[in-house]
Chains A and B, each alone.
Chain A
Amino acid sequence: MTDRVPAGTGRLGDRIFGGTAKGAGLLVIAIVTLIAGFLVSQALPALAKDKANFLTSTQWNVDGTPLQFGIANLLWVTVLSSVIAMLIAVPFGVGVALFITQYAPAWLSRTAATLVDLLAAVPSIVYGLWGLQVFGPHMSGIQDFLVTYLGWFPLFSRSGIGAASTILTVGVVLSIMVLPIITALSREVFAQTPVANKDAALALGATRWEMIRTAVLPFGKPGVISASMLGLGRALGETVAVMIILSALADGTAWSWSVFHGGETFASKIANNAAEFDSPQKAGAFLAAGLVLFLLTFVVNSIARIVINRSKAFSE
């Protein structure tokens, strides 16, 4: 868009309209700055009174007078459930995107894309309800199998949580929720693979799979990475589905590495305790958790954007 005509002619209408547009842009900047500013300013007093180590403590005691709260548990559950979601959703997302762009017959391709997009239209509370009551109970077979044969490994050690409410179940449900995001973006980049590259591969005798491996996948790699990052950002911040499915543990429950354990993520911790924000001190502790979540998603999303922008710079 370098060939644009210079902005504004200095006329009154132009100044008003252009000014309004600029004002809307400035408003967006102001909103984001305010969000960051408010979270920090309200979390700091609570953090200052925190008698436990905020990063390494597993306690969450915001009622008593010596405030003691730390995010170690929340961080572990948040990251573990999101990593499980990514391990499932990225291969499937890429596979489905390749199916839609490279394998599906023309009549199916568009319908398939719409159907996958429909997964994004299901509200997260419905995912939660379905995950806990319908899908979750089916996880018990996998849980029994892994606990029996791989139970010696800390990740798969036995815990007393019902199969429907474990971190693993949350991870699987999250993978379904982020699948449409990863698929939609990967699909877009795969579809943009230059026809010349694909034709060249085919002309050299490559099979369709070899063509994909040598032309489509290398071209789409940055897109897939950034799509995965955006999906990860979504998984980290997902609230209601996690809150409904995951079994929250009483404070002081022994630490466990197991994916069959319960717990709370940043988002579900905040949502579970929404009724308790009665004092600024308590609210501050939860705002501190919210701030960490904000920073976490911010970093992940920034990586996604950087990867997208760098690949754009290379392809233009």
Chain B
Amino acid sequence: MTTIDLASDARPNAGRPDAPGPNLGLGLEHRSRGRAVRNQLARIVMWTAFAIAMVPLAWILWSVISKGGAMLLDSHWWTNSQRGITNRVVGGGAVHAIQGTLMQGLVTAVIAVPIGVMTAIYLVEYGRGRLATAVSFMVDILTGIPSIVAALFIYALWVTTFGFQRVAFAVVLALVLLMIPVVVRSTEEMLKLVPNELREGAFALGVPRWKTVVRVVLPTAFSGIITGVLLGLARVMGETAPLLILGPYTKNIATNLFGGLMPTLPTMINQDRTEVLQPAVDRVWGAAATLILLILILNLAGRLIAHFGRPKT
């Protein structure tokens, strides 16, 4: 279908509908110079588009590194909290916020990964019919939910309905909502890549279906699933909107998910972002650099695992 369309459409020497009148003789020569020019122009446009797209990336990274990179070189940054440190004083570290971000990320993953992976297994290995379509559709909706709406929902559930305090676990619940669809979609893609012959081979040997999934399909797709988890984790660790609504900041180290405040890197940035005093400004950019570093490490780890551990087909 497309091929036929294309054949009639792509012949440059046939009377093109957009050509300026049926010029014969010299016109053809002229037109083909125009085509060559347009071709070169398109090439230049594409290269330029890419070059311009790289500007913000380089600019952002440069801003963050030049303004906050120095903070990361100080060993106190990785060992101290901001306890007792005011915005006029240099010093203190971000360990309280790093710990909070990592802890919330970890607990989010612990909850979201099993749900996400099992949903993907359902969609690929078991699901069919209307229920599977419905689940798939719901995952799509969940993918598109803005983080602030997820946070509002948890607020309506956790604070308004149950009457609980704003604690770190409420943040985790909001992050779980955001992480599940990422894990489902990436796991689904990986499970689909597992060749059917492997499943059929196991079935032929009399292996039950569940054991086939657990012992044959999942190990084959394992590295891909890990990649998806790490990329999903990278996404939720940079989320700030749920933290604004559900996770107020504190300068102290906190480890209790169910009581008190828990600081994170995004809220550490948010706390002092309007400061004009240099020590506080430095810490804001230092926290931004730390957050980007953490996320880049997760991304890189994900990509490396994806690169070296593809399912052997």
A pairs with B: yes
Of A35, A99, A271, which is within 8 A of B49 by CB? A99
- Known contacts A134-B59, A238-B146; decide if A18 and B266 are in contact (CB<8 Å): no
Residues of B within 8 A of A (CB): 2-3, 5-7, 9-13, 35-36, 38-39, 41-43, 45-50, 52-54, 56-57, 59-60, 63-64, 114-116, 118-119, 121-128, 131-132, 134-135, 137-150, 152-153, 155-157, 159-161, 177, 180, 184, 192, 196, 199-200, 203, 208-211, 213-214, 234, 237-241, 244-245, 266, 269-270, 273, 284-285, 288, 291-292, 295-296, 299, 303
Interface residues of A in 2-37 (CB under 8 A from B): 3-5, 7-9, 11, 13-14, 16-18, 20-29, 31-32, 34-35
CB < 8 Å A-B pair total:
310
Given contact pairs A31-B142, A125-B240, A208-B42, a sample of 10 additional A-B residue pairs in the complex whose CB atoms are under 8 Å apart: A7-B125, A13-B210, A25-B127, A95-B46, A123-B237, A214-B6, A219-B2, A233-B146, A297-B149, A301-B143
Of B56, B144, B209, which is within 8 A of A298 by CB? B144
A69: interface (CB < 8 Å): no
Residues of A close to B13: CB separation below 8 A? 205
Residues of B close to A91: CB separation below 8 A? 49
Interface residues of A in 29-64 (CB under 8 A from B): 29, 31-32, 34-35, 38-39, 42
Residues of A close to B155: CB separation below 8 A? 277, 283
Shortest Cβ distance from A16 into chain B, in angstroms?
A: 7
A130: interface (CB < 8 Å): yes
- Known contacts A209-B43, A215-B6, A240-B241; decide if A14 and B208 are in contact (CB<8 Å): yes
What are 11 A-to-B residue pairs whose CB atoms are below 8 Å? A92-B53, A96-B49, A96-B50, A115-B57, A179-B53, A200-B6, A206-B12, A209-B39, A209-B43, A283-B160, A290-B148
Q: Are B146 and A267 in touch, CB under 8 angstroms?
A: yes
> Looking across the interface, which residue of chain A has its beta carbon closest to that of B296?
A121
Q: Are B39 and A237 in touch, CB under 8 angstroms?
A: no
Q: Are B210 and A14 in touch, CB under 8 angstroms?
A: yes
Of A179, A205, A267, which is within 8 A of B11 by CB? A205
Q: Are A35 and B54 in touch, CB under 8 angstroms?
A: no
Residues of B close to A197: CB separation below 8 A? 2-3, 6
> Looking across the interface, which residue of chain A has its beta carbon closest to that of B281?
A133
Q: Are B245 and A271 in touch, CB under 8 angstroms?
A: yes
Residues of A within 8 A of B (CB): 1, 3-5, 7-9, 11, 13-14, 16-18, 20-29, 31-32, 34-35, 38-39, 42, 91-92, 95-96, 98-100, 102-104, 112, 114-116, 118-119, 121-130, 134-135, 176, 179, 183, 194, 196-197, 200-201, 204-212, 214-215, 218-219, 230, 233, 236-240, 243-244, 266-267, 270-271, 274, 277, 280, 283, 286-287, 290, 293-294, 297-298, 300-301, 305
> Of A123, A124, A204, A280, which is in contact with the most chain B CB atoms at under 10 Å from its CB?
A123
Q: Are B148 and A270 in touch, CB under 8 angstroms?
A: yes
Of B156, B210, B234, which is within 8 A of A121 by CB? B234
Q: Are B241 and A28 in touch, CB under 8 angstroms?
A: no
Shortest Cβ distance from B312 into chain A, in angstroms?
A: 21
Residues of A close to B142: CB separation below 8 A? 28, 31-32
- Known contacts A9-B208, A238-B146; decide if A22 and B57 are in contact (CB<8 Å): no
Lowest 4 A-B CB distances belong to which pairs?
Answer: A237-B146, A123-B238, A95-B49, A17-B210
Residues of B close to A24: CB separation below 8 A? 114-116, 118-119, 121-122
> Looking across the interface, which residue of chain A has its beta carbon closest to that of B144?
A301
Residues of B close to A119: CB separation below 8 A? 53, 56-57
Residues of A close to B156: CB separation below 8 A? 38-39, 42, 283, 287
> Looking across the interface, which residue of chain B has its beta carbon closest to that of A114?
B303
Q: Are A126 and B292 in touch, CB under 8 angstroms?
A: yes
Q: How far is the CA of A179 from the CA of B55 in the complex (A)?
A: 12
Residues of B close to A11: CB separation below 8 A? 208, 210
Q: How far is the CA of A100 from the CA of B50 in the complex (A)?
A: 8
Shortest Cβ distance from B298 into chain A, in angstroms?
A: 8
- Known contacts A129-B284, A204-B11, A238-B146; decide if A122 and B126 are in contact (CB<8 Å): no
Q: Are B2 and A218 in touch, CB under 8 angstroms?
A: yes
Shortest Cβ distance from B239 into chain A, in angstroms?
A: 8
Q: Are B292 and A135 in touch, CB under 8 angstroms?
A: no
Of A5, A13, A104, A135, which is within 8 A of B59 by CB? A135
Q: How far is the CA of A238 from the CA of B213 in the complex (A)?
A: 38
Q: Are A123 and B135 in touch, CB under 8 angstroms?
A: no
Of B39, B138, B199, B269, which is within 8 A of A208 by CB? B39
Q: Are B3 and A5 in touch, CB under 8 angstroms?
A: no
> Of A24, A103, A300, which is in contact with the most chain B CB atoms at under 10 Å from its CB?
A24
Q: Are B149 and A207 in touch, CB under 8 angstroms?
A: no
Q: How far is the CA of A128 from the CA of B295 in the complex (A)?
A: 17
- Known contacts A126-B292, A197-B2, A211-B10; decide if A22 and B144 are in contact (CB<8 Å): no
Residues of B close to A244: CB separation below 8 A? 273
Shortest Cβ distance from B122 into chain A, in angstroms?
A: 4
Q: How far is the CA of A123 from the CA of B284 in the complex (A)?
A: 14
Residues of B close to A25: CB separation below 8 A? 118-119, 122-123, 127, 131-132, 135
Q: How far is the CA of A154 from the CA of B25 in the complex (A)?
A: 51
Residues of A close to B127: CB separation below 8 A? 22, 25
Q: Are B149 and A21 in touch, CB under 8 angstroms?
A: no
Residues of B close to A266: CB separation below 8 A? 148
Of A34, A103, A215, A277, which is within 8 A of B46 by CB? A103
Residues of B close to A23: CB separation below 8 A? 118
Residues of B close to A122: CB separation below 8 A? 57, 60, 238, 292, 295
Q: How far is the CA of A124 from the CA of B53 in the complex (A)?
A: 17
